[in-house]
Amino acid sequence: MSSKVPAPFSNKTVLQLIVISYVFSVVRSQTTAAPGCPPPTPVAKLVQFINGVDVNSQSADWYPVGTRATAQCRSPGEMRLMGNRNGQTCRSDGKWSGQPPCCGDVTRRISVTGGAVQRVMPDGGLTVFVSSNTDYVEVRCSIDREEPLLEAPHITVDNVRVQMQSIRGDSGRVSYMTFSPVQATDSGEFGCRKSANPSSPNNLRIEFKEFSLSNQLQLNCPADIVQATDPGRDIATVTWPEPTALTTSEIVELNNTHSPGDIFPIGETTVVYSFKNAANEVAVCRFTITVIDEEKPTFLTCPNDFDVGTGPDSAMAVVEWAPIIALDNSRVISAPEGNYQSGTTFPTGETLVSYMARDEAGNVEFCNFTVSVSDHEPPTIYNCPQSVVASITNMSVNSVPVYWTEPTVTDNTEYYSLHSTREPGNQFFYGTTDVVYTARDMSNNENICVFQVTVLDKVSPVFADCPASQAHYLGQNETEVAVYWRRPAAGDNIDIVGPTVPSHTPGERFGLGTHTVTYTARDLAGNNGTCAFNVTIKIAQCQDEVTPFSEGVLTWTSAFPHELKPSLERCSVYTEKAGNFRALRECMPDEDQGAVWLEPRLNDCGEVRDSIDLDDLQKVSVGEGNVMEVSQAVAKTVSNMTSELADNLEPVASILQNIVNAGSPSVEVTEAVIETVDSVVMSVSRQGTLDRSGEDKEAPSSAKASSSIVQSLEAQISLVADDATSLEVTQRSLAVTVVTLKPYQQDEETQFLSVLDEDDPDSTTLQDGDVQTVPKKARGDSMGMSWPIDTSITMPADLGTQAAESLGYDDPGPLHVSFVLYQTDALFPLKNATGLFSVNTTGEYFTSGRVISATVEGVQLVNLSQPVIVEFTPHQDWNESIGVAECVFWDFSLDNGTGDWSSDGCSYVEFNEGRIVCHCKHLTNFAVLMAMKDESLTLVEQFVLDFISAVGCALSIAGVSLTLFTFIVFGNLRATRSRQILMHLCTALLCLYVAFLAGIDATENGAACTAVAAIIHYFTLASMCWMGVEAHNMYLLLVRSSRVGSLA
């Protein structure tokens, strides 16, 4: 920044003082008559004369009116007189008329060195006094950057006494003439001109006067004086002790060029005293007074830093400022020199402008200011695409690539970026998507281009499993027949809107003739897909029939004419041909009845066996006629097996699968299946086949068999749930309950629970009464009961409503709900639980031992609005302070279809009253996985560290907030680029600290955790980038400062 002279008074005060001074001077001039004029004011570089005598050698205080004052240049050969050459006259008002002249430099300079005294004469000549002691006198002629020539026509150069030479000086060549010794006859006109140009020379008359020095007249002469100028002026008032003469004779004449207290200009001035005594002896005293200028120039005007905008369609700006003026005490100063001039074109950014003022003494002062050129013009986007419409025409895809011509961008700075939310060729899904192009220049000016991509769906829904046309026969005396088929499911490349609309439903009764059954599905785009098949009802078929034979009865289902029908009864499992059909019977057409049965043909079942094993049962074909026998036989077989059952899970799984495939809704079959699974669970639990430490020690086939057994049990329960209104079966390790909830019962929470054995709380054996299904409000002391709950599952109150919505019904209907409780997790091997825990554990994982499930038959419920509440009582030494728990369900699709635990849709809620509480958004088999914490720090240490981190972040937030507040309140602090960079850095740090404090512990919600991680990552990178920008800006400032320093 430029230095400025402080003003001691305000502008108003100065104006008042000037007016008062002017009035006082006018009054004084009118009331007091001036006696004359004071000595003229000394002028730098001038010698002033009054009546032909140097004013400095006169002692008069006043000069009479009419006195004439003239002046000549102090260095007559090096300067010329300019301005008022006629002189000034003392007026009656006590003032000198006119202005004094001034001296200007000449290019052709004449100077004299040597001699005793040099004196300027009133006519402008120069008198040089010489004595016998003067060795030489030299007259010089010099011209800057030119070849000079000294002329003296009256002088004869003999190269002995008078010599003529030309040499190169500091600023050019010099032509000079040397007199050794000089004589009075050498006086005359000397001229200086260019050697190559015969133009008129600069002439100077030089007169040489001789005088004799006395050896008897002694002087005490002052030493040379060096003094700085008076403050704020180009002169100096110099005093010295006057020299005195030691002589026996009287001093009759004293001449001196200056007196103590005289004013001297800047430069070197020779003061000469000459004494003459009565003996006509002369003595000369000479010393020099050098006035130096040490005062720096002062800038009267120096602009402050300012900001301008770029011109239209330009990255530059023409910047102008007021003229920059500098003054100096010497009143002589070169024009300030600047690295940029007003009206210069400046680029975008900050530019340092520096002006330097230098006076003749070499004193330098700087005026520095910064010109900031800002770009406020956003980029221009051309050829913004029109909205694009594309269509999906292939069922196998749900999106299409869309192409367009990208827009072009221009900017006045030519430095810009173009970003878009989507790129040409990207895949677009059905619907309308906004595509935004954002053009941003280096100054963050931005412009956007927005258009829409609309993807239409031209593909109608397709029924991949549309039933084939069917033909049915009316029985005798029947006018209608119920026809069943599998409900077809519609598929589409986009979502189906609402349920599929059928013209008929499975089980509907049809009369004689051909009936068209249609299913219609509509997708989001309004495309309709149709599944159509015919149901033809014909007459003539053999009806269902039961016929006796020697061993009992044979059951026949209806048959078409010429159809050979097997009996439902099969050979007993205790025969050699177990599972084969016991008899065959053919249905033949009949003109009267349409169709009639022929006599049965019995098949041979072979020899009777005393005993059977699992391998035998596995080979038996199971159907409706022998499903009960097979189920009871397998239940009996496995109940007699002990440890070897755990090693034979594959045949058990196969047999149960065959039983389920028979599709029998019989309660007896279901109870036999439950008994079989109970035996398997007990055997595996005792044997410990499946390791709970997370490592499967059995072959993969055993694990897959256990999963198949669970699925078979659930399938059989579903069969009986569709037919029976209720079922309660309690085995030693397994409990099954099927209930039917009426619509009025669906408004309250239904709870399925098991009660702890008071004598043996960790017992894995269930007893009658240990399992209850009750409304949740009936649990506990509200009805006088106090049940120590072991495991429970609570269905949400809006279960019926959600089931109806899922099925597409307006009102809820009866719900068949089945509950299963496994007292051990023997059929649910724990394989890989490491990825389920978000905290460090010891690596040992285990369940609570209980597995509980709930199923709403006929509908799959996911993403429930109200959660299913599952509670488990840990049967291990576990609590929240020493361990962690994860709520899981058994996902049959994991591990290549073998099944494994998954936590999707389930969350741990709390550990309350000794029970772990879980919330799940779907229905299936639930359990809780537990592990012990691996804590390297105590809770106190963790709290202290968390507290220190929180306090540190809070202090940082306070600091950067205060900084930003200061910048916002004081607008002048935001003027420079460096301050703006600091604001951006503070903003990024503030967002980073706030995001860290607010969201670092948001780990329970996956989406929230991901969002917090992304925000922290982004603002960390932003902070580092702004630190880099700050460092770069500081580097630029230092480089510029060093350049300014070099100019100084």
Average pLDDT of the chain is 82
| Tokens matching residue 316 | 């530059």
**pLDDT above 70 covers what percent of the chain?**
86
| Tokens matching residue 62 | 């006043």
- On whether both 430 and 336 belong to a single domain, the answer is no
pLDDT higher than 60, residue 956:
yes
Q: Which one of 374, 400, 428 terminates a domain?
A: 374
- On whether both 393 and 448 belong to a single domain, the answer is yes
Whole-number Å distance between alpha carbons of 740 and 725: 6
Other CB atoms within a 10 A radius of the CB of residue 717 amount to 26
Whole-number Å distance between alpha carbons of 72 and 1002: 95
Tell me the C-alpha to C-alpha distance, in Å, between residue 702 and each of 684, 846, 1047. 11, 20, 90
- On whether both 430 and 556 belong to a single domain, the answer is no
**Is residue 673 in a domain?**
no
Per-residue pLDDT, averaged over 732-742, amounts to 86
Confidence of residue 789 (pLDDT cuts 50, 70, 90): confident
- On whether both 7 and 53 belong to a single domain, the answer is no
**Is residue 223 in a domain?**
no
**pLDDT above 90 covers what percent of the chain?**
18
Q: In DSSP terms, which residues pair with 915 in a beta bridge?
A: 912
| Tokens matching residue 775 | 């409304």
Q: Which one of 81, 104, 127 terminates a domain?
A: 104
Residues ≥6 apart with Cβ < 8 Å to 424? 402, 403, 404, 405, 406
The single-letter DSSP state of residue 317 is E
| Tokens matching residue 850 | 């209980």
**Is residue 69 in a domain?**
yes
DSSP 429-486: ESEEEEEEEEEEETT--EEEEEEEEEEEE-PPPEETTPPPPEEEEE-TT-SEEE---P
Per-residue pLDDT, averaged over 32-51, amounts to 81
Q: Contact 243/219 with Cβ under 8 angstroms?
A: yes
**Is residue 169 in a domain?**
yes
Beta strand 470-474 with 528-539 is parallel
DSSP 173-195: EEEEEEESS--GGG-EEEEEEET
Range with the poorest average pLDDT among 167-176, 441-450, 691-700, 1024-1033: 691-700
**Is residue 420 in a domain?**
yes
Phi then psi dihedrals of residue 470, to 5 deg: -120, 155
Residues ≥6 apart with Cβ < 8 Å to 27? none
Return the CATH number at 453: 2.60.40
| Tokens matching residue 209 | 């006067």
- On whether both 112 and 154 belong to a single domain, the answer is yes
Per-residue pLDDT, averaged over 484-496, amounts to 87
Choose the most confident range, by mean pLDDT, from 316-320, 478-482, 642-646.
316-320
Q: Up-side HSE of residue 617: CA atoms within 13 Å toward CB? A: 28
**Is residue 711 in a domain?**
no
- On whether both 304 and 370 belong to a single domain, the answer is yes
| pLDDT one-digit tens code per residue, 568-619 | 889 988 888 888 898 999 988 776 666 889 989 999 998 888 888 888 888 8
Other CB atoms within a 10 A radius of the CB of residue 66 amount to 11
Listed in sequence order, the DSSP H helices in 828-976 are 939-969
pLDDT higher than 90, residue 519:
yes
- On whether both 765 and 838 belong to a single domain, the answer is yes
- On whether both 115 and 100 belong to a single domain, the answer is no
Q: How many domains does the chain have?
A: 8
pLDDT higher than 90, residue 530:
yes
Whole-number Å distance between alpha carbons of 796 and 348: 67
Q: Contact 681/687 with Cβ under 8 angstroms?
A: no
Q: In DSSP terms, which residues pair with 931 in a beta bridge?
A: 845, 884
Q: In DSSP terms, which residues pair with 291 in a beta bridge?
A: 227, 267
Counting every residue, how long is the chain? 1048
- On whether both 356 and 499 belong to a single domain, the answer is no
State the pLDDT at residue 924: 84
**Is residue 642 in a domain?**
no
pLDDT higher than 50, residue 831:
yes
- On whether both 805 and 743 belong to a single domain, the answer is yes
pLDDT higher than 70, residue 761:
no
CA 759 to chain CA centroid, nearest Å: 63
Rg over alpha carbons for the chain, rounded to the nearest Å, is 60
Q: Contact 869/918 with Cβ under 8 angstroms?
A: yes
Q: Is the dihedral of CA 424, 425, 428, 431 positive or negative?
A: positive
Q: Which one of 908, 933, 958 terminates a domain?
A: 933
Residues ≥6 apart with Cβ < 8 Å to 851? 821, 822, 824, 825, 827, 828, 890, 925, 926, 927
CA angle 450-452-454, nearest 5°?
170
Return the CATH number at 83: 2.10.70.10
Range with the poorest average pLDDT among 17-26, 439-448, 527-536: 17-26
CA angle 513-518-524, nearest 5°?
175
**Is residue 552 in a domain?**
yes
- On whether both 605 and 750 belong to a single domain, the answer is no
Per-residue pLDDT, averaged over 496-508, amounts to 87
Residues ≥6 apart with Cβ < 8 Å to 971? none
Whole-number Å distance between alpha carbons of 252 and 261: 24
- On whether both 127 and 173 belong to a single domain, the answer is yes
Buried b (16+ CB within 10 A) or exposed e, 1017-1043: eebeebbeebeebeeebeeeeeebeee
Per-residue pLDDT, averaged over 344-363, amounts to 88
Whole-number Å distance between alpha carbons of 815 and 513: 35
Residue in this structure with the two tokens 């100054």, named with its chain if needed: 443
Q: Contact 438/420 with Cβ under 8 angstroms?
A: yes
Confidence of residue 1044 (pLDDT cuts 50, 70, 90): low
Domain that holds residue 336: 1-32+293-374
State the pLDDT at residue 382: 92
Which pTM does this prediction carry?
0.41
Listed in sequence order, the DSSP H helices in 665-767 are 667-687, 700-723
